[in-house]
Structures are given as structure tokens and as C-alpha cells.
């Protein structure tokens, strides 16, 4: 009995638990007191000379021939420079090339390279480095995703598709160490932009061949940009160090720390705890945007990234363009900024504002009465007789909000029954490509700041044209505009093509242009953004809030986010077409 009593009485283990509890309490008190003492001291909120930002995820590769994603480009664009570079107005200005000549009616380009540009190992950058890089990009063995960028160069497509094995047939040659010649199949109005994109940057043959697949690791890579790749802890952090020998002078920053924090709320907490100096769309949610929208730290600007609703024109009922036009006119695009809450800009047309051929009149207006009348004219008054229509979208939150809004709008205005098809990302892509349903959601990022990148998407032969729509006049106009060097005629052709696309034939309905939203700490100055969403750090300074460190007019505010039409912080020194 006595033993039984002991079993239910407080045992020595209880005493141990109490001891543990006391220890935990003591530890908590010590930690809190440490924190209080830290708060009372003047703790630095930033690391002088160091920019801390969030990439969001691991760059799949830093080989600029095989990667295609924006995270990789955020790194590459800061460690490398090409023949030309973008100004804040997204025009091309000299970079490795000090000048260039456009000859033979736009079919031949001759670039003259600067003498003072060196690789990080001290060797000069030569035309042979460009020749090797461009040949490697087209070599099928490289598997370069953006090899098609150079398909306008003589023999590029033949080499890339294996029709010829001789890489020296590529129409890009080093005439001597400092002269690089490019021959095109036909005049190409946007060619110069390609020389500012990462895929066309120079590359060192000896380094690639020596290190094979490991050539992009920090201990092997050689670069020619304002920063050097110093450390790469995969899936965690990349550190860049200032290039002391950079041709335009050492950047103001000593170091850039690029973390890879995938979870938005964690990245945002790091920003609020002053452990990141700025964050963008990758790092904060819509509710955070809403919370900060009146803060001087918050900036928003449109990107060259369009979202659209596509019709499969081979599937009823959208074989009839009157029904496509009716749907387009029944959508009130002004709701998208309200439901997505990131400052999206409704698109009247497919060509975004600021690019050649843009016109707000190219698209159809919001007109429910006219939409109903078109539907009745097509034989479906008030939507009667129409079967349910499948609408495909990927399992992403913003897409869900958009398609649900569209479903409600089309029900209310045209009495259409829309059945939403939600699919996992890669399944969605496969479905959209192989057997698109009557309605699907799509979006498109610009590769370079020209209408060609948007308009070519809906040409008959483009593999990304999932609408199955083919129009000879549209194809002819887009092909003509791409090769047209006369700016006025080019604008006119693109505008006419955009009208066919968005008003006459309507295989798509442009929805909105996405925006970049950023929060900048007051001590960060000179961060340059552009509508292509490539972020350059060479002008960034981290300093006291009461000092103007980059010529900003408002020292307590960070550099305004610059749009194509926005303020220009650096003078463009020409070179654009």
C-alpha cells in the first residue's frame, strides 16, 4: 500500500521537471535582458558598404547560355557587361563596345571594343571572347535555351538545329582583337537590344573548357562587370565583392549579399528587422503592400509583363469571333488592381504603353450592351444555348483571384457558365500547349524592350501561341515591322497588328500589366530599376539617412523607382536605333 501511495505522490522526476522549468525561465530572462541591453545600445541598422537583398530562390545557373530566369539574371547583370547596356530609358548605350556601325541597310553591324575592359583575372576582353560566346550559345551541345535570340544572325539557326556542324559558319566574327562583326539574314529593328541581354555577353573559352560544368563556381569563374562572384552557398546566399578594376571605376558598394529566402513572410520579417535593405515582389505579400502603400519606403512601377485571357479559336464557341469579341467587351479590367492590390495597370491593348505601336484604341472598350448584342447576333441571346465553358488556370493565388473575378463578370453580364480548371503548374503548361480548353490564362515577360517580343508571340508559327489562331495579315505586319528601320512605319505596322489582335479578331483579351513593388530602407540610395526588372547595383550606396549620397533630390527618400517614361538618373550617351 505504501508503495502504491508513493506511486501517486510527487516523484523525484517531478522535482527534475521543476528544475528544468526554472532553468528555462532563467534562460528566457537572460535572453530578454540581453535583448534589452542591445536595444538600449546604438545598434547599426545597416552594414556600411554592404547591400543585403533577397533573391527568393537559388539561381538555377550562372552560365548565361543555359539559364533563363530572372534570379540568375539579377546576379549575372551585376558581374558581367556586354557589347551594350540599357539606360534607364531602356535604350542601348555603349558598354564593352565604345561605338558601332550599322552597315548594308541594317544587315551588318561592326562593334568597336574599348581598350580598357579586363576580365577579373587581368586579361583584356577581346572580340574573340564574343565570337566564342556566340558560337557556344548556338552550339546544340550547349543546350542554350536562348539560342533563338540570335536566329537572325547568319547561319545561327542552321547551326543550332544541327544542319551544319561548323560553328565558324556563324555570321559573327572577330575581325581583330577589338573589332567584332555581325552579319544578319535580314535587317532587324530590335537587334541592338539583344547585345545588352545576358545571353550575348562574352565568355572565356579557356575557363569554360578547363573547368567544364563547374566553371561558374566562384573559384573558377572570370567576369568583367562591376562586381565579382565571391561566394556561393547554394540554396542560401551569394556574395558579390566590388571589382576594383572595373572599367567605369569601382562601385560604391564593397559587397552585396544576396540571400535566397523563399518564404515571403520570413523575408518581410527580415526587412522589418533591418536585416535586408530592400525587398521586392519576391519578398512581400499583397497584404504587406497594402500596409506600406502610404510609406515613403514604398514604390511601385509597371513592368513589361502582360497577362491575357486566351481563346482556343478551334474550339466552340470561340470559333466565332463575335463571341470572342463579346467576352472581351464584357470584362471590366478596372477590377484587377482592386483584387490583386499590387498596382496592376489594366491593358487596353497587348503592346504595353511606351513600346512602339502602343495605342489605347487598339483594344475593345468595356461595353456590356454591345457585348450582349454581339452574343445575340451569334445566336446565343442572353447566353442561352451555350454549353459550360472550361477556363484553365494554374494553381497560383493571383491567377485564382483573376479567373474567379472573370467567372463572376461573365456570368453577370453575358450569363455564361464558366467552369474553372485548376491545374498544377507543369500540368497546366502541358495542357495549355497540347490541348488548350476554350479559355485559358496566360502571361508574357519581355525579353527586350521592343514590341517584337510581345507581337511575335501570336504569329502563326510561334510555339507559344496556344490560341491556334492564324492570320496572314498579322504575320506579314509583324514580320515587316521586325525588319523595318523606319521608326514611324514600324510603329504604324505594330499598331495595325495590335488592332487586328485585340479588336478585329480577338484571339486574346489583354488583362493587365504587372508591376514591381519595392520597399527601400532610407539608408539605401541609387538603386536602379527598369521595366525589364533587371536590378543593377553599381550605383547603390548604403549610408546615413541625412546625407545625399547619390545626388537624389530628396535625401531621406530612396531613389524613385524609374519607369521608361520616368526620371532619368544617368545621361544616355546614344547608340540606340
Partner 1 sequence: MIAFIIKRILTAIPVLLVIASLTFIMVRIVPGGPFDEERSLPPEIVANLRAKYHLDEPVHKQYFLYLGRLVRGDLGVSYKYVNRTVTDIIIDAFPVSLQLGLAGLIIAVLVGVPLGTVAAVNRGTWLDFTAMFASTAGVSLPTFVIGALLIFVFGIWLRILPVGLWESPVHLILPAITLAFGPTAFLARLTRASVLEILEKDWVRTARSKGLTENATIIKHVVRNALVPVVTVLGPLTAILITGSFIVEFVYAIPGMGRFFITAVINRDYDLIMGTTLLFAIILITTNTIVDIIYKLLDPRMEVEA
Q: Which of residues 420-439 bind partner 1 (CB under 8 A)?
A: 424-427, 429-431, 433
Contacts to partner 1 from residues 380-419, by CB under 8 A: none
Between 131 and 447, name the residue whose CB sits nearer to partner 1.
Answer: 447
Contacts to partner 1 from residues 179-218, by CB under 8 A: 213-216
Residue pair 509/308 in contact (Cβ under 8 Å)? The answer is yes
Assess 444 for contact with partner 1 (CB under 8 A).
yes
CB 125, min distance to partner 1, A? 22
Contacts to partner 1 from residues 519-558, by CB under 8 A: none
- Mark the segment that binds partner 1 (CB under 8 A) among 57-65, 73-81, 291-299, 371-379: 57-65
Contacts to partner 1 from residues 64-83, by CB under 8 A: 66-68
CB 39, min distance to partner 1, A? 7
Assess 160 for contact with partner 1 (CB under 8 A).
yes
Dmax over CA atoms of the chain, in Å, equals 109
Cell numbers of 265, please? 513572410
Cα 399 from Cα 405, distance rounded (Å)? 10
Q: Which residues pair with 444 in a beta bridge?
A: 306
Between 63 and 152, name the residue whose CB sits nearer to partner 1.
Answer: 63
Contacts to partner 1 from residues 456-495, by CB under 8 A: 463-464
CB 174, min distance to partner 1, A? 25
CB 37, min distance to partner 1, A? 11
Among 59, 61, 55, residue whose Cα is nearest residue 208:
61
Assess 259 for contact with partner 1 (CB under 8 A).
yes
Burial (CB < 10 A; 0-12, 13-18, 19+), residue 250, is middle
Contacts to partner 1 from residues 94-133, by CB under 8 A: none
Residues with Cβ within 8 Å of 375's Cβ and at least 6 positions away in sequence, in order, are 322, 323, 326, 381, 382, 383, 414
Residue 426's region, left for phi above 0, alpha for psi from -120 to 50, else beta, is: alpha
Between 273 and 546, name the residue whose CB sits nearer to partner 1.
Answer: 273
CB 266, min distance to partner 1, A? 4
Q: In angstroms, how far is the first alpha carbon of the chain from the final one? A: 100
CB 41, min distance to partner 1, A? 13
Q: In this chain, which of 10, 249, 551, 574 binds partner 1, going by CB under 8 A?
A: 10
Assess 19 for contact with partner 1 (CB under 8 A).
no
CB neighbourhood size of 102 (10 A): 15
Q: Is the dihedral of CA 427, 433, 435, 441 positive or negative?
A: positive
- Mark the segment that binds partner 1 (CB under 8 A) among 96-104, 264-272, 320-328, 409-417: 264-272
Cα 504 from Cα 510, distance rounded (Å)? 14
Q: In this chain, which of 141, 219, 488, 571 binds partner 1, going by CB under 8 A?
A: 141
CB 263, min distance to partner 1, A? 5
What is the tally of helices (H) and strands (E) in the chain?
17, 19
Cell numbers of 184, please? 544578319
Give how many residues touch partner 1 by CB under 8 A.
Answer: 71
Amino acid at each position: 500500500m505504501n508503495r502504491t501511495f508513493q506511486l501517486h505522490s510527487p516523484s523525484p522526476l517531478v522535482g527534475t521537471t521543476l528544475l528544468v522549468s526554472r532553468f528555462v525561465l532563467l534562460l528566457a530572462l537572460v535572453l530578454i535582458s540581453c535583448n534589452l541591453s542591445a536595444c538600449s545600445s546604438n545598434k547599426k541598422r545597416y552594414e556600411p558598404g554592404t547591400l543585403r537583398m533577397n533573391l527568393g530562390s537559388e539561381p538555377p545557373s550562372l552560365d548565361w547560355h543555359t539559364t533563363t530566369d530572372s534570379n540568375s539574371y539579377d546576379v549575372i547583370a551585376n558581374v558581367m557587361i556586354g557589347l551594350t547596356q540599357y539606360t534607364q530609358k531602356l535604350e542601348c548605350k555603349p558598354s564593352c563596345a565604345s561605338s558601332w556601325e550599322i552597315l548594308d541597310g541594317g544587315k551588318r553591324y561592326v562593334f568597336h571594343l574599348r581598350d580598357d575592359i579586363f576580365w577579373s583575372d587581368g586579361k583584356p576582353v577581346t572580340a574573340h571572347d564574343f565570337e566564342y560566346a556566340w558560337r557556344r550559345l548556338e552550339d546544340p551541345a550547349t543546350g542554350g535555351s536562348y539560342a533563338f535570340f540570335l536566329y537572325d544572325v547568319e547561319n545561327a539557326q542552321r547551326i543550332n538545329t544541327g544542319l551544319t556542324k561548323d560553328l565558324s559558319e556563324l555570321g559573327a566574327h572577330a575581325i581583330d582583337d577589338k573589332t567584332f562583326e555581325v552579319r544578319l539574314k535580314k535587317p532587324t529593328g530590335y537587334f541592338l537590344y539583344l547585345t545588352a541581354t545576358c545571353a550575348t555577353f562574352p565568355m572565356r573559352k579557356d575557363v569554360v573548357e578547363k573547368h567544364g560544368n563547374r566553371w561558374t563556381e566562384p573559384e573558377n569563374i572570370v567576369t568583367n562587370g562591376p562586381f565579382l562572384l565571391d561566394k556561393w552557398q547554394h540554396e542560401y546566399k551569394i556574395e558579390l565583392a566590388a571589382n576594383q578594376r572595373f572599367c567605369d571605376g569601382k562601385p560604391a558598394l564593397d559587397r552585396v549579399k544576396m540571400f535566397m529566402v523563399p518564404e515571403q513572410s520570413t523575408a518581410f520579417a527580415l526587412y522589418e528587422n533591418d536585416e535586408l535593405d530592400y525587398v521586392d515582389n519576391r519578398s512581400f505579400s499583397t497584404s504587406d503592400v497594402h500596409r506600406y502603400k502610404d510609406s515613403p519606403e514604398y514604390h511601385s512601377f509597371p513592368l513589361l509583363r502582360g497577362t491575357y485571357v486566351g481563346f482556343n479559336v478551334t474550339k466552340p464557341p470561340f470559333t466565332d469571333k463575335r463571341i470572342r469579341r463579346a467576352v472581351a467587351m464584357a470584362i471590366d479590367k478596372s477590377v484587377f488592381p482592386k483584387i490583386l492590390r499590387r498596382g496592376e495597370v489594366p491593358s487596353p491593348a497587348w503592346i504595353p504603353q511606351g513600346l512602339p505601336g502602343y495605342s489605347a484604341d487598339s483594344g475593345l472598350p468595356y461595353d456590356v450592351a454591345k457585348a450582349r448584342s454581339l452574343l445575340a447576333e451569334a445566336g446565343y441571346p442572353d447566353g442561352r444555348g451555350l454549353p459550360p465553358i472550361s477556363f484553365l488556370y494554374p494553381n497560383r493565388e493571383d491567377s485564382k483571384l483573376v479567373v474567379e473575378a472573370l467567372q463572376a463578370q461573365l456570368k453577370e453580364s453575358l450569363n455564361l457558365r464558366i467552369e474553372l480548371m485548376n491545374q498544377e503548374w507543369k500540368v497546366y503548361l502541358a495542357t495549355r500547349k497540347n490541348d488548350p480548353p476554350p479559355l485559358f490564362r496566360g502571361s508574357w515577360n519581355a525579353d527586350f524592350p521592343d514590341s517584337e517580343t510581345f507581337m511575335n508571340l501570336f504569329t502563326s508559327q510561334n510555339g507559344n501561341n496556344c490560341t491556334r489562331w492564324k492570320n496572314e495579315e498579322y504575320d506579314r505586319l509583324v514580320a515587316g515591322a521586325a525588319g523595318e528601320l523606319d521608326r514611324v512605319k514600324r510603329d504604324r505596322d505594330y499598331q495595325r497588328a495590335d488592332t487586328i489582335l485585340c479588336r478585329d479578331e480577338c484571339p486574346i483579351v489583354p488583362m493587365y500589366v504587372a508591376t514591381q513593388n519595392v520597399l527601400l530602407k532610407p539608408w539605401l540610395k541609387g538603386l536602379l530599376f527598369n521595366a525589364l526588372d533587371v536590378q543593377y547595383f553599381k550605383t547603390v550606396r548604403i549610408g546615413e539617412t541625412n546625407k545625399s549620397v547619390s545626388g537624389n533630390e530628396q535625401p531621406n527618400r530612396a531613389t524613385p523607382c524609374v519607369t521608361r517614361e520616368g526620371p532619368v538618373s544617368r545621361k544616355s550617351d546614344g547608340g540606340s536605333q
